[in-house]
Structure 1
Amino acid sequence: MQSMNDYSSAIQLRSDRWSALREAAAALTRDPKAKAAAALRKRVEELFESLAMIEAYWAFPGMPAFDYMRRQFEHGNFEDLAFSTNRVTRALTTGAYRRRHIPLERDSMDQEEQDDEAMLPPEARAMAKPYFEVLIVDNVNEHQERWLKHNVSRMRRPEDQFIYEAVVVPSLEDALVAVLFNHNIQAIVVRPGLTLKSKMDQEVLGRYLNRAGGQEEIEHMLPENYGPELCRLVAKVRPELDAYLVTERSVEDIAGLDLGICRRVFYNQEDFMELHLNILRGVQARNKTPFFTALVEYSKQPTGVFHAMPISRGKSITRSHWIQDMGAFYGPNIFLAETSATSGGLDSLLEPHGPIKESQELASRAFGSKQTFFATNGTSTCNKIVVQALVRPGDIVLVDRDCHKSHHYGMVLAGAQVCYLDSYPLNEYSMYGAVPLREIKHQLLQLKAEGKLDRVRMLLLTNCTFDGLVYNVERVMEECLAIKPDLIFLWDEAWFAFARFNPTYRNRTGMDAANRLREKFRSEQHARLYEAQQSTLKDADDEKLLDTRLIPPPTARVRVYATQSTHKTLTSLRQGSMIHVNDQDFKGQVEQSFHEAYMTHTSTSPNYQIIASLDVGRRQVELEGFEFVQRQIEAAMSMRRAISTHPLLKKYFKVLTAGDMIPDEYRQSGITSYYDAEQGWTDMWDSWEQDDFVLDATRVTLAVGGTGWDGDTFKTDILMDKYGIQINKTSRNTVLFMTNIGTTRSSVAYLIEVLVEIAKSLDELLDDASRMERLSFDRRVKNLMHDLPPLPDFSRFHDAFRPDTVTSEGDIRTAFFLAYDDNNCDYLDLNGSLKDAMDDGQVVVSASFIIPYPPGFPILVPGQVISQEILAFMRALDVNEIHGYRPDLGLRVFTPEALQQLVDAKPEMKKIARVAE
């Protein structure tokens, strides 16, 4: 039987244990005296022991029912046990326990047993009252527990919007484990009788308590503070929950404590109805969707449409003789809710004052920002909005060179002086990693030495990268602020919106790190540490500063922006995105310019369906994001384990681990893989807390060079065309499988089946291959796995686009618009005239963005000098799609005359600038 270490979450562990118990009980029923019966009984005992550790944290089936089934087994009532376990397992699988009482006795009737939750029509599911569970923390005996649950249940009323059941645990430790195990919990009632320690297995307990602040912190708590401290600790792991504190302490004693997620304090009273109403009100605050609700109501109103959009109310479709199929496909509601009006209870995205404004405020709360703005045309637009709002012409911006192309175009529009940062290369897999902190600090210190630090405006990094590399966000911001205390940070989290709703992942999001820094900078301890370091680093040279973990001054400003593609990792229609802001100077310095930038890039006819989907998607993650993200991670972990341990798959495929994708010097924890075949899953917490970079486990990068197919061929000809498996990202010898909150275990199982079938076909092919065919296969594998062109670094901007030759920033805007005049450009053939010119020592400068896909980021930008390394890389590329490159003409470059004119004009331009000043 697999141990708990074979699972990355308790959700899948519990599901598998109940399924195994059902199978074992059914086998015992068939022949209780068979030779295998002793082994089956032993297995049932082990399963009961395993489930006993975790069942106390769920309301269904509940410990009384669990103990009842255990007694059935001990008394040899195997048929009764089989019946009960079958009902429990089915109810857990279908979600039936969320709608009705599930009887477990064999003579009981369950008329709705065949009604699977998933099989109900959407209308029926929408009409059902949502179910959740309330955790009550109090060290009570069995009789008192029944009294508590009875008092909670008798408060229910037919008019209540939700249904909930109570779970009672005795201790602070149990409560922390419960909120990590049980995704159904939406509220916590902390009563005065709680104790500190759990009776749960300490090894298992420690694994989970690390995510809630660690056992060391818990050990030093005073008994009178257990209640408030529990509210604070739960806020660290599941900040979306509501807590209610019942206490006997005075108001004065409570007032100065950090109560975390506590919504209300009840003083020494048993007012269950008031508690009940508060619990419902708290869940309703997360359940409300102001704009979606307004749009639904609008769709019900009779209107006369005398504005744009013939499709509004579906009139242009219902009256048509030729496009009725469109109406049948989409249904009527989408057209009833389609309008360009901002009246009738709706709102304007550009000037929100009603339900859109309220929806954005709820999203801000959910994602931990100070302000949140919706976008209906993708994160590409979000990136341009933020850059234009914050960057003025001539400002220096440090940019991750292999970031999304929208950032590069944003720099052009803003007129930024761009200082490109190089990521560490992964030549073996033809992909880049992420930008080391030392590289960022080096650039900042160099700019400081040249007196340019006042012009440095922003640091822009991708977190997490397409391949799943995640920065130590807090450390990066701290050390950069130590050099430039007012530096602005833009974290492109297009693929990371889901991270907010997992306690391990959350710590590495821009908004969460910003909130921690704001709190840290206000503390007296931080001020002392800063002063102590300043005296130590007095007169330190750059090398010393690069080797030191720098502490920013307490006066540093926390100015953080994050852009997220909600539609990529959470529930939203395509192009639904958000901008999250946590900027201490937003109100005073940025609000107006942000508004103007938002107006510049946002359509005056935004899609209301996208806005509504963002509103509903926010509701979902506040109420069940924790569960969905856990399931997503579990699906990816299962995929990693299945491929890594399958003897046939290992011959041709390799799942890349953190050790493969992150060099040793950036993994301070020493953890190389999240899964070990002998020990199971290692706890990711240590690496996510310490390392410079970590690997998002939900992205599974598979090296496929061993098959003899390059990544693009494997994706298109094999996975997509032959098996219907869709993926985005490939490199020369890898493909990327991304799980999301909609990924099911069945999807993972199908992928494994496909990979096994591919491996078997390769085995058969090679088994029948001739000697020459085998040599040809081996040559292709060698070419894909070993003979790889090194990835080029950013070369430099041509002197015509640089203010000087000391620091590396360049004027990308001038280069971009210089290319608008064809007279300034020429085309050189990649394998002919371009190579000849470079071999002759000529300086050749790109006039365009050159973006091969894959990998999908610019290897050349306007104004960049083409190096021999870049030329060699481009010539070795075997991809079909290179944006900006014309195979019929060649590479677009600037003429020497155009560049010389700029160089000649620079002294005169400087003179004019001095006169203007």
Structure 2
Amino acid sequence: MKFRFPVVIIDEDFRSENTSGIGIRALAQALEEEGMEVLGATSYGDLSSFAQQQSRASAFILSIDDEEMAAETGAEAEAVVALRKFVEEIRFRNADIPIFLYGETRTSRHIPNDILRELHGFIHMFEDTPEFVARYIIREARKYLDGLMPPFFRALTHYAQDGSYSWHCPGHSGGVAFLKSPIGQMFHQFFGENMLRTDVCNSVDELGQLLDHTGPVAASERNAARIFNADHLFFVTNGTSTSNKMVWHATVAPGDIVVVDRNCHKSILHSIIMCGAIPVFLTPTRNHYGIIGPIPLSEFHPDSIRQKIEANPFAREALAKNPDKKPRILTLTQSTYDGVLYNVEKIKETLGDFIDTLHFDEAWLPHATFHDFYREMHAIGRDRPRSQKTLVYATQSTHKMLAGLSQASQILVQDSEERQLDRHRFNEAYLMHTSTSPQYAIIASCDIAAAMMEAPGGTALVEESLTEALDFRRAMRKVDAELGEDWWFQVWGPDHLSEDGPAEREDWLLRSGDRWHGFGDLEEGFNLLDPIKATIITPGLNVDGEFAEQGIPAAIVTKYLAEHGVIVEKTGLYSFFIMFTIGITKGRWNTLVTELQQFKDDYDRNQPLWRVMPEFVAARPQYERVGLRDLCEQIHGIYRDNDVARLTTEMYLSNMEPALKPSKAYSKMAHREIERVAIDELENRITAVLLTPYPPGIPLLIPGERFNRTIVQYLQFARDFNERFPGFEADIHGLVVEENAGRKHYFVDCVQNS
């Protein structure tokens, strides 16, 4: 299979008619005649940018006959300095790509040892024929390219190249079925031959089996386990929602007491229901921006967890029947959506072996093990201490922060000193949730996402994400400083930010009482904010929940940005969220800064919505005569009059009373022993479904809990707001909307009153 990886030649004489230029062009021609593509350049240019070519090249050939080197005196030549910097930039990202030096008059005697040891060879032109030298370079380049492929991807490309006829599913038979239909032709042309030829079923023996972890799949999982510093690693093609359910079904049985972060993904709550577990919750802090903060370290103490068990009637009853039984699992969201991390080692020290299994939902944190900035702030890593008896799981979305396709996920396991994972027993839970027809492109992307993070490349990619995130924050502060007293957007984070250079870990620790985070008293060194998660704060609300006279609700900003080609991850009341994954570029974040400046200009001039948000207005003509600033003031006024920031904070911190076990309440829905209850009548009723406001997408109530007054007030506000401002509706999963006589009515499915 043909891949494009040119040989890159950097020589100031590449286009010259002198002897050196003729010689290097003869070598380039010989390479091309052997089937290699050649890319010629006459200078290093911007070193960092040019070093990015390492991801596209098969080899570098660097001239050492530049005029600066020829004019070398006692001091080190400028060309040697440039050469060293270039080689360092390449090796920071790639330890293996071949680098050759090319000289006509100069030799290795003129090159310092620290450069020489990074080279694959030295070409002295005119001593061998260009054809011989070309074959030598091609041999090394092909050896490098052959070593790039991780096991499964290698097997998949070989399978696609073999041209075998397949009689197995899927029914499109390598894409052939699409060629029999005009619309199928469009589909085939859009996705391409390779994707369709490699979309196969699990009966292809040479590709191995995801279901029982054999063959190239197993080799790739072992390779990824090594890269991610885990004892065991399993690829998952149904997303981390499924990874979480696998971990739980391998660990938890009906009647088990489980300890769960209240700020958990809904897949954890689905797991509670499916496993028949009895949850006790650890409650995180929140600030009035709506940003979820950390669970205090004191909540992890065994005595605190025992008190929570005693306060829960179902957990208390289960413990009374079996006083010596440990809580079965603790699941912690690591990191939070907005990037707050926990010191895992402090949690392990606090809990000891009080809990059977620790599970860290690291959907947003697979990058952490590759950079020292995150030391101790992730679950599993190199040289991390082991618990004596407790297994540690981490579930990670490689598609969120790394380079996996959507739904690419993985489960990492660290054995304890006394207990190893029983892989066969675990696989029973794995089989319960995985598809018997996994998508092989997703498996390949799991394989590639891991291989991309192999040292030193993984560290370089994470370092680049951190650098871009810091530069974005610095750019936003620069704009703010230049505007002076005029309004601008803020990026949530520590007050002190270095003006240049890498992220200083100490700056990003959440310290007790710091006003910027708004989480109150925190344990020293327990929490860290990940700089690559950037929450942008819009004007109108401060961290104490106090509204200004004027404000700009974030939903208006993000709808404006969407019409200008900028799509953000999450929108709150006065904040929206972006991520600096390994795929973010300078162009992308600089475009965001310029679009925010354009929004400011349109807001200040109160431009009509039909002009600045034409698609939005075309779908909702009632906004046609409204100005951008006018709309902001209208929605801000509603938020302020209803004190929504405090309401949304208090509803998540309010007392959630368990009235039924979650599995029992869900069974009521399955047996249709429910009734649809209007919002105004919900207080004290028992929900049969998850109630999940977006944002932040964190379930507010789980099946079996009672509605309290605060939650009902929020739902009443959401109903009235939705009616007044169509297009900006509060999205609440679990609400049933029925339309009658042109008006929408809202209900929740509750357990029938006995």
After TM superposition, the score normalised by the length of structure 2 is: 0.71
- Structure 1 residues 331 and 367: CA distance shift in structure 2, 3 A: same
Change (3 A) 1:675 1:133: farther
Cα deviation, residue 620, structure 1: 0.9
Q: Is the 8 A contact 1:733 1:784 kept in 2?
A: no
Matched with 2:594 is 753
The alpha-carbon deviation at position 131 of structure 1 amounts to 2.0
Identify which range, 880-889 or 604-613, moves more after superposition.
880-889
In 2, the alpha carbon distance for the partners of 1:87 and 1:347 equals: 44
Quote the offset at 1:825 in angstroms.
2.0
In structure 1, distance between residues paired with 2:181 and 2:484: 54
Q: Deviations over 1:404-428 (max 9, x none)?
A: 11110011111110112211121x2
| Residue of structure 1 equivalent to 2:604 | 763
2:707 to 854, 866, 873: 866
CA drift at 1:747: 0.8
Residues 711, 734 of structure 1: 8 Å contact kept: yes
Corresponding residue for residue 833 of structure 1: 681
Which of 490, 512, 522 pairs up with 2:381? 512
CA distance in 1, matches of 2:465, 2:677: 48
Would the alpha carbon gap of residues 604 and 775 (structure 1) be closer, same or farther in structure 2, given more than 3 Å must change?
closer
Letter in 2 for 1:462: T
Structure 2 CA distance for aligned equivalents of residues 581 and 787 of structure 1: 42
Question: Partner residue of 1:890?
Answer: 747
In the other structure, the counterpart of 2:505 is 684
Letter of the aligned partner of 1:645 in structure 2? K
| Aligned 8 A contact 1:766 1:774 in 2 | yes
RMSD of aligned residue pairs (Cα, Å)? 3.7
**What is aligned with 2:536?**
702
Given that residues 238 and 408 in structure 2 are in contact (C-alpha distance below 8 angstroms), is that contact kept between their aligned partners in structure 1? yes
Deviation of 1:892 (Å): 2.0
Q: Determine the structure 2 residue equivalent to 1:853.
A: 694
Tell me which amino acid in the other structure corresponds to 1:512.
Answer: G
Q: How does 1:158-177 map to 2 (within 5 A)?
A: none
Alpha-carbon distance change, 341 to 701 in structure 1, aligned in 2, over 3 angstroms: closer
Letter in 1 for 2:463: Q
1:713 corresponds in structure 2 to 556
Indicate which of 367, 376, 380 corresponds to 2:241.
380
Deviations 1:275-316 (Å, cap 9, x if unpaired)?
Answer: xxxxx99x9998441110001111122323222222232221
Match for 1:613: what amino acid? S
What secondary structure, in the 3-state scheme, does the structure 2 residue paired with 1:563 have?
strand
**Shift in alpha-carbon separation, 1:143–1:628, aligned structure 2, 3 A:** same
Find 1:131's aligned residue among 67, 78, 97: 97
The answer to whether the aligner puts 1:413 opposite 2:282 as a matched pair is: no
1:327-726 → structure 2 map (5 Å cutoff): 327-426=188-287, 428-441=288-301, 442-446=303-307, 452=323, 454-481=325-352, 484-512=353-381, 515-518=383-386, 556-584=388-416, 590-623=422-455, 624-647=457-480, 648=483, 651-658=486-493, 672-675=494-497, 683-685=504-506, 687-688=508-509, 691-706=525-540, 708-715=551-558, 717-721=559-563, 723-726=564-567
Check the 8 A contact 2:602/2:628 in 1, yes or no. no
Within 5 A, what are the aligned runs for 1:93-242?
99-102=60-63, 105=66, 131=97, 146=112, 153=119
Tell me how far 1:778 sits from its aligned partner. Answer: 5.5
Matched AA of 1:883: H
- The Cα shift of 1:817 comes to 0.9
How far apart are residue 331 of structure 1 and its match? 1.8
Q: Please report how far the alpha carbon of residue 318 of structure 1 lies from its aligned counterpart in structure 2 after TM superposition.
A: 3.0
Cross-structure match for 1:174? none
Three-state SS of the structure 1 residue aligned to 2:62 is coil
Alignment of structure 1 residues 895-914 onto 2, 5 Å = 895-897=752-754
Q: How far is the alpha carbon of 1:854 from its aligned partner?
A: 1.2
Contact persistence 2:496–2:507 (CA under 8 A): no
Q: Deviations along 1:653-679, whole A, 9 cap, x unmatched? A: 443434xxxxxxxxxxxxx435156x9
From the superposition, tell whether residues 88 and 408 of structure 1 become closer, same or farther in structure 2 (CA, over 3 Å): closer
Distance of 1:657 and 1:477 partners within structure 2: 29
CA distance 1:321–1:731, change in 2 (3 Å): closer
Distance 1:827 1:757 in 2: 46
Aligned residues: 596
User: Secondary structure of the residue that 1:598 maps to in structure 2?
Assistant: helix
Question: Would you say the 8 A contact 2:604–2:629 is kept in 1?
Answer: no
SS in 1 for 2:454: helix
- For the residues of structure 2 that align with 1:750 and 1:413, how far apart are their CA atoms? 45
2: distance between equivalents of 1:94 and 1:620? 15
Q: CA deviation at 1:382?
A: 0.3
For 1:454 and 1:298, the matched residues in 2 are separated by 51
Contact kept, 8 Å, 1:389 with 1:596, in 2: the verdict is yes
Cα 1:324–1:103 change in 2 (3 A) is farther
**Contact conserved, 2:690 with 2:701, CA < 8 A, in 1?**
yes
Contact 2:99 2:120 in 1 (8 A): no
Number of the residue aligned with 2:544: none
SS at match of 1:345: helix
- Whether 1:309 and 2:178 are equivalent positions in the alignment is no
Query: Residue type matched to 2:348 in 1?
Result: M
Query: Which stretches in structure 2 are left out of the alignment for 5+ residues?
Result: 1-41, 70-93, 101-107, 123-132, 311-315, 511-523, 541-549, 609-626, 722-728, 739-745
Match of 1:537 in 2: none
Taking a change above 3 Å as real, the CA distance of residues 646 and 321 of structure 1, as seen in their structure-2 partners, is closer
1 CA distance for matches of 2:570 and 2:485? 21
Instruction: Using the TM superposition, give the Cα deviation of residue 594 of structure 1 relative to its aligned residue in structure 2, in angstroms.
Output: 1.4
1:387 is paired with a residue whose SS is helix
The within-5 A match list for 1:9-20 is none
1:737 CA drift (Å): 1.3
Shift of 1:773: 11
Q: 1:617 to 1:494 in 2, by over 3 A?
A: same
Name the structure where helix makes up a greater proportion of residues: 1
Instruction: Give the whole-Å Cα distance in 1 for the aligned partners of 2:503 and 2:155.
Output: 47
Letter in 1 for 2:593: I
Is the contact made by 2:687 and 2:706 (CA closer than 8 Å) also made in structure 1? yes
Residue 447 of structure 1 deviates from its aligned partner by: 5.8
Aligned to 1:816: 666
SS in 2 for 1:397: strand
Q: Given residue 281 of structure 2, which amino acid in structure 1 is its aligned partner?
A: Y
Once the two structures are TM-superposed, the CA of residue 453 in structure 1 deviates from its matched residue by 6.1
Aligned-pair identity in percent equals: 27
Contact 2:397–2:408 under 8 Å retained in 1: yes
CA contact (8 A) 2:98 2:119 kept: no
Q: Is the 8 A contact 2:202 2:437 kept in 1?
A: no
**Residue by residue, what CA displacement relative to the aligned partner does 1:147-192 show, whole Å, maximum 9, x if unpaired?**
676577576896688969xxxxxxxxxxxxxxxxxxxxxxxxxxxx
Deviations 1:177-210 (A, max 9, x none): xxxxxxxxxxxxxxxxxxxxxxxxxxxxxxxxxx
* Matches of 2:242 and 2:467, distance apart in 1: 33
Between the aligned partners of 2:658 and 2:462, the Cα distance in structure 1 is 49
Whether the aligned pair in 2 keeps the contact of 1:294 and 1:346 (CA below 8 Å) is yes
What letter is aligned with 2:369?
R
- 1:890 counterpart SS class: strand
Whether the 8 Å contact between 1:468 and 1:699 is mirrored in structure 2 is: yes
